Structures are given as C-alpha cells and as structure tokens.
A and B are shown apart, each in its own frame.
Chain A
Amino acid sequence: MDRRQFLTLSAARQKRTVNNASFGRTDSGVNTYTGAFETPQMVHVLKRALFGATPADLAWAKTLGNMDAVVDALLTMEPTPPAPPVNNYGDDSTGIAPGQPWVMSAPYVKTDGDSLGQNRQRSYRAWWMGVLLNQKRSIQEKMTLFWHNHFPTETTVVLDLRYHYQYNVTLRKHCIGNFKELVKAVTLDPCMLNYLNGDLNSKTAAQENYARELQELFTIGKGPDSHYTEDDVRAASRVLTGYRINAQTVTSYFDSSEHDFENKQFSDFYGKRTVTGQTGAAGAEELDALLDLIFSNAEVAKFIVRKLYRYFVYYSIDDQVEQDVITPLANIFRDNDYELVPLLKAMFKSEHFYDPLNMSCLIKSPADFCVGLCREFSVEFPAASDYMNAYDAWDYIRDTAGKMQQNLGDPPNVAGWPAYYQEPMFHELWITTDTLPKRNQLSDFLITGQGARNNLKADVIAFADQLSDPGNPNTLIQDSLDLLYRVETPDAFKASLKSQFLLSGQTTDYYWTQAWQNYKNNPTDAALKQVVETRLKTMYKFIMDLSEYQLS
C-alpha cells in the first residue's frame, strides 16, 4: 500500500486531510489500523519491537497472519528470566568459582591492584549483550533498554556490580508492567539510591539530587506545561529522606531516625497539596503519598508517552501528533492506571503506527544496529556453557556498540543518551563522521568474516537459504531488501545489484540459478560453496554500507 491508498482509507480522514497538506502529513490517529497486514507492516512492527527482523521472525509473523495476534504475542513477557552473569574472569577475592554466578557474592570493596571490579563490570555488560543477542520474540528486551535509558545508572559510578545486576532485574521485571510501580521500585532500588545519592539523604542534610531527577527526568519532565518549582524539589527531597542500603544483601531499608517527619508543602502545580510528615516506620509511607501526588498530574502520562513515541515511532512531535496521538494515548495510559500493556497495544495497533509516513524513518540505535545485524545474519556465538569464549564474544559486540556511543550499563549521564532528548537532531546524533564508519566497519567485518573477535561472522548463505526462492536472483534481491531496507529502492538499483554482484556482469539469471543449485546439490563442495558465498558476501556488504541500512 502506498501513501495514496492509505490516505483514502476512510472518508472522514480524507476531508480533514485537506487542511494538513504541508509536509506530507496525514492525520492518522490512534484508531485501530484495519489496512493490509503484509510483509511491509510485519517487518515494520518486528523491527520496532525487537532488535532487527530475521527471515524466521517474518515467517513466524506470517504464520500468525494478523496484526492482533502478532502484537499481542510481542507484548508478552518471556516465562523465564535470563540466568544471571557468571565468573568468566578467574580469580575472585569473594570466593566465587569460575562459571558460577557472582551476583549474590559478599560485598565487593574496590581495592587498588585488584581487578575484580573491572572484571565484573565487563562480565555484567557482556552478559547483558548476551541477553539481547539471545532474545526471543518479546518486546521485553527493547523495553528493558528503554527503561535503562529513562532511569539511567552507570557502572562507572556505582562500583559494586551486584547492584547493577539487581537493577537490571528490577527494570526487566517491570518493563511492561505498571509504570507507577516501576517508579517506586526504582526509587527504592539500591543501585539508584547509590547513583543519585538517595542513600545520603537525611533529615539534617537533605540531598536534592534524586528528588530533582524524579520530577525532571523520570515522571513530570520538562514539557511546556511542566511547572514544578525549586521548592517542590526540596519538599520531595525531604519526603525521600531516610532510605539506606544494606550492602550485604543489596537491599534497601527505611531508617526512620534519618527521616524528616515535618509536613512537606507542595506548590500550585501540585494543587498546593501537603505530604503529611510521619514518624517511625510510617515515614516510609510518605513515598506512596508523594507518588500519588506526582501521578495525579497529567504531565506524567504525556511525558512518558512522548518518550515512548520517540523511541518506537519517530522523534519529531508536531502539534498534530501531540493532539491526535500523544494526548489520546496519554488518556489511555491514565485510564488504565499507568499499566503499560494497554498503552503499548494501542500504540502498536494504531493507524498512526502503520502510516507510511512513520515507516522507515527510525535511525537505528547502536544496540539496534549491532544486535539486529547479528540476529538477522545468524552470527554464531560460542555456547553460554563455554562461558569464557561466550562472554568474550558478547563483550566484543558490547564494546563495538559502545564505540558507536551506546555503551550498555553506561549511558553518558542521568538524562540517558542525547539521541532521545537533544533537540533538534535527536536520533541523527547517533550518526556522525566518527560513528558511521564504525557501523560500516562492523558490517564489513562480520560479512567478510575477517576482523571481528572470536572469528564472529555473518552466515550469508543461511540468510539467503531462508528466503522464498534463493535460486531466483530477482526474488533473492527483493526478499533481502524487504528485510534489510525499510526504503523502496528503484528498479535500476536492484538490476545493478543483480548484474554487479550475483551475475558478475553477466545478463542472464540462469548463471546465478545454476550456481545456487550446484551448491545445494553438493553442500560440502568447498569450491561450489565459495562461488555463491563470495557473491552473496559482496552484495550484502554493499547493501549494508549504504545509508539505507541505517534506517529501521
């Protein structure tokens, strides 16, 4: 379906479109999408909800056949959480044996000359990359990363890595649950308490750090209608006094002797409400009162919906999107008491989401680029049981994404990655004269099978073999581009791919068909394999070096 067909979907929309002729806008809103749900729409929703779309993912979606089934399945949590990270580094002064999880070890106090802290940092970040690479068909990993960007902590700041693992578990557990419960869990999480100094916040020395970010970055935001005051920051910081960390168990607790039990007065923005000071253990209940007060403000839903929109749809939010998409989705979010699944269902099933205007326009984040590339091309990693090599290989991909400016476990600061908030460039910030060559370098390394650590390589034959008719160069190219590009390419481009790469300058399709058949009939014949493999490699390398491959 092209844009013209899309625009003629309903008469009501046609009428209104007249007023919105500029910049190819449609006025698609949050009504349920009822148009065709075929390869372009399937690849679209798969790429946005997962990291990349593999030939097998597309086949799976085709088996399910309709939008409701696909979206509902994607919005389901995996039944089993990932196994925790293990000792892949050898010596461990807390006594954890190689291959065993270190996440509940004795507290690790960093000392000079002991590299355990660095080793665990690498182990943790490699482990997380492994989880991403091994993801199933659920939105949970993309949402967990979303929350990591929204509620950032840094492994270079909180130095006991057990905290980060617990935090990662917290984010994943709530990733498509209830947002208000997630905020509460994050507020009380030892990693966040330590990261934003909440564990130093006491009645004699209130610490504003977390109280400020709770409002500015985590819930209310800095939208045009956000008017909380400096006094609100101070009042919230006093509510949050008294939370402390038990380093032994990596849990937090409430110390009422450190809690400010005076009343806390909030500004007009919060309806001049007061959080009544409580003494003793009841002081911990003030947090619920504070969250009730914050979540009664309409800014929260709008702020989170805008951020999800920028993550999953597109970064630009004009007045019309605000009115036709953000506002109704925010209402759905509030009406469902901040449950995330109803909100995400509405978004991923909306006309707006499948509007051709919003397809193909998301610049892949480094994690999306690296993980998607590995998944699409079945890059084979060592088995998790071979933990030394597996962690090493995962860490290579983690490090590569880091050099492209997205280091798992280490967003640049408490605002997360600039690509998700920095006007006016947003996602374009991922692409610079420094990072774009690095993206091209990774795809080159993997496709050519030379240059990457652990001999990681893309399996171009496996990729082609899963397509509808790999012996036909025309469908091979079309099927490949359907998955790898989100942008239509001219026929001349496809013809040039065919003749330059698959036919080596020949003109008849038969040459490729014959070469593919020869290989399939004798898969162990190295020479026959090489004929098709070198041609596929050079073609996919070329496809992935072009700018189109950066779009999702």
Chain B
Amino acid sequence: MRRREFLKHTAKVTAASVAIPAVIDGYPVKAFANSPLLSALQGAATDNDHVLVMIQLFGGNDGLNMVVPLDVYGKYQAARTNIAIPEGKVLPLQGNIKTGLHPAMKGIQELYDDGKVCIIQSVSYPSPDYSHFRATDIWLTGADSDKVLSTGWGGRYLAEEYPNFPEGFPNTEAPDPLAIQIGSLVSPMFQGPAASMGVAISSATDFYDLIGEAPTNDPPLDKHWGVELKYIRLIAKQCDKYIDSIKLAASKVTRQGAYPDTNLANQLKIVARLVAGGLKTRMYMVSLGNFDSHANQTEAGDTTKGFHADLLDQVSGAIKAFMDDLTQLKASKRVVGMTFSEFGRRIRSNGSMGTDHGAAAPVIVFGDYVLQGVLGNSPTLPDTSTVADNIAMQYDFRSVYASLLEQWFCVKQEELENVLMKDYQRLPIVSGIACGLITAVPDVRDAGINYITNYPNPFVEKTYIKYTTKGGHTMIQIFDTTGRLVTVPVSKVHVAGDYTISFDAEGLPNGIYYARFQNGSISQVRTMMKVR
C-alpha cells in the first residue's frame, strides 16, 4: 500500500465512529465533509492519471433489444412480436442467467466474461423528456427534467478541479487539453461556467499551423461583436496552445492494434493513441448517431439483423478493439468508458418494425477496474403491453456520474455536490483499488430479497407499502408509466427495520404505478396496479 492509500484508509477507519456509514452510503454528510483534517489527509482529487471516455449514442438507443431480460423473456417476446431477439440467439453472460446481450455484441460479452464490464439496468430520471434535444441536454448537463442548466456536468467537474480555466492554461500542471471531443463540435457536456473546457479534434495529425497575430487591441466586452471576437481569438490561441502537446502524444504511439473500419472505431482509435501517448486529458467524448429506430430496426426475416444490429455491432466491436489496443499499449488501467443515450425506447414495438421514444435504458461501463456485474433487476414488463408503456427507472443517471466521479476520479464529497447539485446514490461500479479506497459495499445483486412490497395489489384507492431498510437514508418514489414522478412518500434517515406506509391513490387515474425503493446502493422497483 502506498502512503497516500494508507492515509486515506486510516482516515476512514478513524472517522468511522462518527460518520462513516454516511460516507459509504453517500447521504448528506455536510458536517463530516467540512473536516479540514480529513480533506488534507485525502489529498487532491486530481492526483491521478485516470481517463473517462464517454460514448454517446444519439437518437435514443433501444436498450431492451441491447440488454435482453432472459428471466422475463416471455413478456419481452409478447411485447415485441415483430422485433424480439430469439431467446436462443441472445448472448449469455458469465454467471448471470437473468440477462443477456444482443447477438451482435460478442465483443462486450467477452469483456464482460473477462470481468471488465458493468451493466446498469434502467437508468433514467424522474419525469423523463421524450424530445431528443431536450433529453440530450438533460443527460449532458445533468439537469432535472424541469430545470435548465447552461453548464455541462463534465465542464463543472473540470471547473472544480481547474477553477481558473482558461486563464493561465496550459501550464506545467495541466499541459494538455482538459477534455477532448472527437469530432468538430465540442459537446455541451464540457461547457464550464466560464468557458468550454474541451477542445475538438477530428484527427490527431491534421492540425493546421496558424500564423499571424491578432491586432493588439482588446475588443470591448459590452458589445456583442466584442464578445464574439474575444471568443474567436481565444479559440485561435487554443489552436496554437495544444497543438504541440497533442502532436507530441500522437507521435509517441507509432503502432496500434487492429480496429474495425467504422466511424466509432476510428474515433476510439484516436483516443487510445492520445491516452497511450501520455496526454493528461481527463475526459474524452466520442459519438455515434442514427439510433432513432422508429421503423425497420430489424430485418423482417431475421430480427438479429438490421440497422440496430449493425449499430450495436459497431459499438461492441469498437469498444473491444479499443480495450485490446489499450491493453497491448499498456494503458488500459488508466481508462474507464461508458455508453449512454438520451433515452431508451418503448416496451412495445410499433407496427412499422420499430420502437418509439421511451424512458429508461441500460448503461454499459467498461474498464480494467470496473466491477463485473449487472446492477438492478430486469425491467418490469407488463403481462399485456400497450403502446404507452415505458420502462421504469431503477437508477438515476446522475448516480452513475456520481459513482464514476467518486470511484474513478476520486472526487471528494463536497466537490461532488458542487458538480451534480445534489447528493446522488452511489453504485458499486469501479473497484475501490482505483482510488486507493476499499469500502465495504453491500451486495446489491442479491436478487430474491424483496425490499419493497405492497398489499392489496391490485388496489382500488389505497394500498399499503411495506419496506425493509438496512438503516440510513431511505427513499420511496412513486412514478406513473410515463416516468412522471407522482410523489415521494418516504425520504428520511431510518433505523434498520421493517416499516409500512399507506399510499392513497384517490384521484389518480387507474393503471400501473411503480414504487421505487432506494437505500444505500440498493434500488428496487415494485409494480402496483390501481383498478376500479
């Protein structure tokens, strides 16, 4: 154990008697977090060379055909008679009989079986938005669905770590771009409070040398044109500033592994080259479009083929090649990646062999330090599906961000709240070794235990919700089938034990309601039906 790890470990143990459960479970710990001693012992969060690669799948990826719920296969098949993946074709996962992958995703299956993939089920947020552009903004900014944030979550994180950016950058501590977008437009995810924290490149070697200098006068910032001119000049300077470090990194890697010749693989190939070349950039964003599968997402004769299958094949093949390349370049231990899309699709397929805009969908996280597993249960599917049925949320997408920031970028509690605005549930995604913190995380994969039940069910006006908490902060949220947050009947710190509350649905429409239980890293969803 290195000295810093030892200190962190010791600090945790010493503090345990006061507030350690709160830290582990990730609930409000303001008083604890303000301890200057602990902050000092834990050291700077930036003191590592970890890289996060975000893979954006634009258009709303059909999560239900990507991660197939084998334990409720019958209901899945019934809801999607025209596009369901045949049970025998679904790729199995090592040690997991409930869940399988789309047959085009052999690469992800191999990485999973190697212990390098974590699949998080049913990721969304309360009252999800069904517009591509708004939902994308929500995912990139980390906003609640009824709020608009002008900064991106990645930008806020980097601004927390490098508060003065872009003034005085690059410098000896941060000689390289903080974030890189592969493509020409920098993602709103990297928008910081003062400036975009990212730079865009479409290939690592075609930078064009800028010449000439701007006139020395500074533009007036109380004029629109002055604001724009200052911005353009800033970019012009950045073109100059980072070109050398990017070229240097690219030049250090002269041989890379084999990649498929696809759009996404070409992007990840550049990322691998820059990471292995020693660039200190913290975050990368790559993207792939065309997931908006309203029509003909599978072939009529063979539902394992079609354009959605081609896209998943591209995603899986690119990630596998990327990880293999990083491994042979001895840089894989520096990288964690995740896929995301602005929303999933409806449970039921439509009449044109496609699926319309939906709610929750799985997220795939990969990397050498990632904890193998499938978090959460298979989505709850109705016996008889209707067109409006959506997959209920099990995990908030900001929980995924919070977990990665904490477990991969070693971000401290108080900074985490600055970045994400709230204290989100943390999930066991990355091994504690990554930040030198081994924390005892309860096993959330203990299916079979019902933490939340209700009776009667179905019910007419009122039902009783019974839940079992392990103590600490406990929350129950009630959603309707569109994902709209109806109410939050429980949100408080409990002593461990069994509790019962009543849920009065008088005045609410008949139909299905989801009761989502959250306690520590445990989430469970109970389906309740209101009838007359």
Contact = CB atoms under 8 A, between A and B. Distances in A.
Interface stretch (A56-64, A204-212, A509-517): A204-212
B132 A413 contact: yes
Contacts of A490: 215, 217
B352 interface: yes
B532 interface: no
A41 to B, nearest CB: 15
A166 to B, nearest CB: 21
Contacts of B238: 433
Contacts of A412: 289
A534 interface: no
Interface stretch (A134-142, A374-382, A541-549): A541-549
Interface string A400-411: 000111000000
A361 B220 CA distance: 12
Given A23-B222, A404-B184, A440-B210, A425 B191 contact: yes
Interface residues of B, number: 56
A461 interface: no
B508 interface: no
Interface in A309-359: 314, 316, 356-359
Contacts of B445: none
A358 B224 CA distance: 7
Contact of A431 (B148, B212, B231): B231
Given A200-B295, A432-B235, A424 B208 contact: no
Contacts of A414: 132
B48 to A, nearest CB: 26
Interface string B215-232: 101011011110111011
Contacts of A222: 131, 134
A197 B210 contact: no
A230 B130 contact: yes
Interface stretch (A98-106, A415-423, A470-478): A415-423
Contact of A437 (B58, B133, B208, B214): B208
B207 interface: yes
B224 A357 contact: yes
B89 interface: no
B356 interface: yes
Contacts of B223: 24, 356-357, 361
A427 B354 CA distance: 35
Given A207-B294, A422-B188, A433-B201, A486 B130 contact: no
Contacts of A429: 185-186
Contact of A207 (B185, B242, B352): B352
A487 interface: yes
Contacts of B217: 490, 493
Given A222-B131, A414-B132, A436-B239, A486 B199 contact: no
B477 interface: no
Interface in B257-307: 289, 294-295
Nearest to B230: A547
B225 A197 contact: no
A205 B350 contact: yes
A209 B294 contact: yes
Given A425-B196, A432-B186, A316 B224 contact: yes
A87 interface: no
B133 A421 contact: yes
Nearest to A486: B225
Contacts of B188: 422, 425
A436 B236 contact: yes
A155 interface: no
Given A208-B356, A222-B134, A414-B132, A437 B210 contact: yes
Given A207-B350, A413-B289, A432 B225 contact: no
Interface of B: 58-59, 130-134, 137, 148, 150, 183-186, 188, 191, 196, 199-202, 207-208, 210-212, 214-215, 217, 219-220, 222-225, 227-229, 231-233, 235-236, 238-239, 242, 289, 294-295, 350-352, 354, 356-357, 482
Given A209-B356, A230-B482, A432-B199, 19 more contacts: A24-B220, A24-B223, A200-B351, A205-B350, A207-B294, A356-B223, A357-B223, A359-B225, A361-B223, A404-B184, A423-B137, A433-B199, A437-B207, A487-B219, A487-B225, A545-B210, A545-B211, A551-B225, A551-B228
